[in-house]
Every structure is written in structure tokens, then in C-alpha cells.
Amino acid sequence: MVYLNPDIDKAWLNLNKEYKRFCKTDMRTLFEKDEKRALKYTLALDDLTLDYSKNRFDENVLKALTDLAKVCGVEQKRDEMFSGSKINSTENRAVLHTALRNRSNKPVFVDGRNVMGQINDVLAKMKKFSDDVRYGKFRGYTGKKLTNIVNIGIGGSDLGPVMVCEALKKYWLKDIHCYFISNIDGTAAAETLKDLDPETTLFIVASKTFTTIETLTNAKTCRKWLVDALGEHAVDKHFVALSTNKEKVTEFGINPENMFEFWDFVGGRYSLWSAIGLIIAIAVGFENFEKLLDGAFSMDEHFKTAPLSKNMPVMMALLGVWYNNFYGIHRYCVVPYDEYLKYLPAYLQQLDMESNGKGVDKDGRFVKYSTGPAIFGGAGTNVQHSFFQLLHQGTDVVPVDFIIPAISHNEIGEHHQILLSNVLAQGEALMLGKTVAEAAAELKRAGKSDEEIAFLKKYKAFTGNRPSNTILLKKIDPYALGQIIALYEHKVFVQGVIWNINSFDQMGVELGKQLALNILPEIQGKSFAIEHDSSTMNLIKKIKSLRK
């Protein structure tokens, strides 16, 4: 690590010394030496608990990591974010998704203007519209209640809403059904529309500029489907927009009164708290949407006020830096043990990898160290039968975040007790492992011969010493979900500060889009003038041949 600040360089060097001292220490030993380790390294906020004791650190490592956070200015940058400073340096923007859930309503200023007024106005508009749809006051063109709600977006305009709607499915109004179209693949639109009734379908088009090619292509397909069934005049009663481009929205045929605004200080992957969450409010009710905001606000306050060493997002971020930059572990896994949270890993992939997948620092220098890790995951216990083999016995160590509610929304027989026992067992197994000697003894107790034991004992052994966090909550409700999402948002922010990168732009998604616009006319047979590499040229030729 090389920074412009010598104090930061010193903190990195100190951590490198700690790594050399500590790296061969086994977590088994740490737990054996300190019977209170779990209590010391567990944090709580309301009914949310973070147990980070099953990680490779001791008190000295933790102090060195906390010192790094201090000298990197985590506290200062955190305060700048909440205050409305333009910390998105490459786009000269404030970063104020936190203002969207500012339940204290204290003023937040951008360019000398308190933005809370406009935020509250949009929330009030969302409340009225979502209530009108839910209770049948806002109806379709033929007078029928709108019960099929289709969100058309991509990226943050899709991943956040679909994740939250699925997570809170138990709270949906009984006659409301939510659908999501994001992929430009026509199959996504076709499969969604085929069983819907145009008279009862409401489309929400989510695009800040109202020019996003995937979203507008899907929106036009849905518009044609509606017009073919009900006529041009139906568009006004079956489409609303989440956008800032009034002209384009009106041109599409959407009543500008049904356009919901959001702002440049809200990045796409942080936008579910804004008008982008309209489908959430319709599905679960605005009161529950407010509880989602309340939960996030509680985590915001914790992040703002808790000391670094007692701060949930900070601790998770620092452990990630520890593994990424010292152990050379450039991946981690998120496994929620709750079917309602099955889309959370995909949501966190965008949040983390789009934020911190950067190769140039805030001083304009190419970085020479690892930044954002690769993330994967899925719902337990399903994934225990897919990639957990690698987690337990693979040559690559993968830190895991386990997320589990103590109480299920569906307490059927012994299902949830079995689920709970599985998640606790996985964390214990990853940490403890099983030595070759222990495996041999186990095989002997099972009545295996000496020859069988000699052959099988290494296959039955687990190296252990594999780190995990356990995030325990009482139940998956709107408040708790808000806390979890904000926890990960702030974790990502802290890591970006430490890596000295801008976590709030996403220029890496642009090049492919630009090249796609060049290739499209060639696929359509409208242009042949643009030169590409030989592979791309040959593939275009093959595609056109196959499509004849």
C-alpha cells in the first residue's frame, strides 16, 4: 500500500507486522484460550445481533485495524456523507441515500438548500398513490382494480425492489401481485405478460433519464401489449414513471402527475429508499415501507455514533480488508438462511462490486492493491448441497456471512428448528474443522478396518480455521430488513474509504454499452462500416447467418 499520507502508510505497515505475527494462529486456539471470546466480539442493535468472533483476529489485530480506519478518515468521511458534502468526486455529487430515510427530519443541505422538503414531498406522493392503488381509488382504464403491478427497470431500479418485495412477501396485500421485467431478453417480457390481464395491470417504468435502453425497450413492448388490448387512451391509466425527465415521460404517454422524482444524489444501487421503492409501498403498504426506512435509519444512527470498535458496519468492513489485503482472499459469500431473502446475495453483488470494483483511486492513480472482492451466495440450506463442498474442503478460503431469523413467518412443524441447527452447525464446522487424527478416530468408532481408516482419514478431514460472521435477527420484518440493507451499505462505504476509491460512480458499466450501440446496427443489417476485432466480426457474421 502506498498513500500520500505517511500516517496511513504507517498504519498499513503496522498491520503487515500483525499479519506476520498472527497469520498461523488457529481460531480453535483463540476460543480455547478465551472462553469469553464470543461475548467480547458480539454486537447488538435492537433485535439484530452480529457475532464476528469466528474470524481470524485477536485484540492486537483488531486495534491495528481500528487504527487504520481512524487514520484513513472513516469518521470524517462518514460525517461528510451524512452532511451532504459532494463525496462522489468523479461526478461532483453528494451521496444522500441516508437522507431518504432521515426519520429525524433534521435539515440536510446540498448547495445550500435543505433537501428534506422535496424528499418528504415525494414520500407523501408515494403514500397517496400506493394507498389509492391498494384500495382501488386509482383504477385502470376500464374501471377495474389494478392488482398486477409490473416494475420495469434494471440494475438498482430492479435489484433493490425485487429483493425487498420478495423478502417482505408475507406483508403483501392479498390481491396484489408483483412482477419484475429487467432483462433486455424478450423472454423476460413475454413470460411476464403472457398470463396477465391488461385491464388489471399497472406498469411502473423506472429510469432516471427515461433513456435507459433496456428499460425503454421493455417499456415500449409493454405499452404495445396494452394498446393492442385496450387502445391508446389506456396508457394514462396503466403507466407511471419514476424519472426526472418530464418531457420524455409525457412523450411516452404517461401523465406527468404520475411521475415520481428522485435525485442525482441517489445512486441507482442505493435507490430503493426513494420513489424507486414505489412497488414496495404498493405491495406491503406505505406503513411498512416507512418501517423499512425506520430500520435503515436506526442503523444509520448506530453507524454515526458508535465507537469504531463497537460499530457493526465498521467491524465487518475491517475484517473484509484484513482478508482481502493481507490474507489475499478476494472473495466472500453471503448465505441467508431464509427463503424470503433468496435475492439478497444478488442485490449485494451489485451494491459491493459496482461500488468498490475500482482500479483508480481518488487521487487519480492506478491502485496496486486489491479492492472490491467477488461475491456469491444463495439461500441455505439449498447451497449446502451446491458450493459448500468448496467452502469446507476447497483450497481457497472463503469468508461467509450467515444471516438467520430466530423466528420464521412459517413455523411449520420442525422446519425452522432444523434450519437454525444447520446454520449454527455450518459456522461451527467452518471454524473448528476436523483434524486427520479426529477423522481417524471417528472412522474407528464406526467400525472401519485399519486399512480403510488409513485410506479414508484424509478425505474425511476438514482444515477448519475458516472465517464467518453470523447475523441473527428476531424475524424478517420491514424494520429488520432495513437494518440489514443499511448495514451492508455502510460496510461497503467504509471499505471504499480505506481503499481510497470512489464507491459511488460506476463507469465500468459504460464501455460495453457504448460498443453494443455500435454493434446493434450491424446485427440489424443497417450498417457495415464499423471495424471490430476479428473475433467480433466473425461472430456478427455467424449470428446474421443463423438468423436468416
* Catalytic residue positions, numbered: 354, 385, 513
Phi, psi of 473 (to 5 degrees): -130, 165
The grid coordinates of residue 133 equal: 392503488
Helix runs in 151-244, H state only: 156-167, 186-193, 213-230, 235-238
- Residue 509: how many CB atoms within 10 A of its CB? 12
The one-character DSSP state at 151 is: E
Strand partners, 49: 44, 472
Q: Which amino acid is at 260?
A: F
The one-character DSSP state at 434 is: B
Q: Do 358 and 423 contact (CB within 8 A), yes or no?
A: no
The grid coordinates of residue 277 equal: 421503492
Establish how many alpha carbons lie within 13 A of residue 543's alpha carbon, considering only the half-sphere containing its beta carbon: 12
Question: Comparing C-alpha atoms, which of 164, 152, 162, 133 is closest to residue 237?
Answer: 133
Q: Are strands 374-377 and 259-260 parallel, antiparallel or unpaired?
A: unpaired
In whole angstroms, what is the distance from residue 174 CA to residue 496 CA? 42
- Sign, CA dihedral 250-252-253-257, equals negative
Q: Do 38 and 51 contact (CB within 8 A), yes or no?
A: yes
The one-character DSSP state at 44 is: E
- Residue 537: how many CB atoms within 10 A of its CB? 13
Q: Do 147 and 177 contact (CB within 8 A), yes or no?
A: yes
In whole angstroms, what is the distance from residue 445 CA to residue 442 CA? 5
Alpha-carbon Rg for the chain in angstroms: 26
Residue 269, helix vs strand vs coil: helix
The grid coordinates of residue 80 equal: 461528510
Buried b (16+ CB within 10 A) or exposed e, 470-504: bbbbeebbbbbbbbbbbbbbbbbbbbbbbbbbbbb
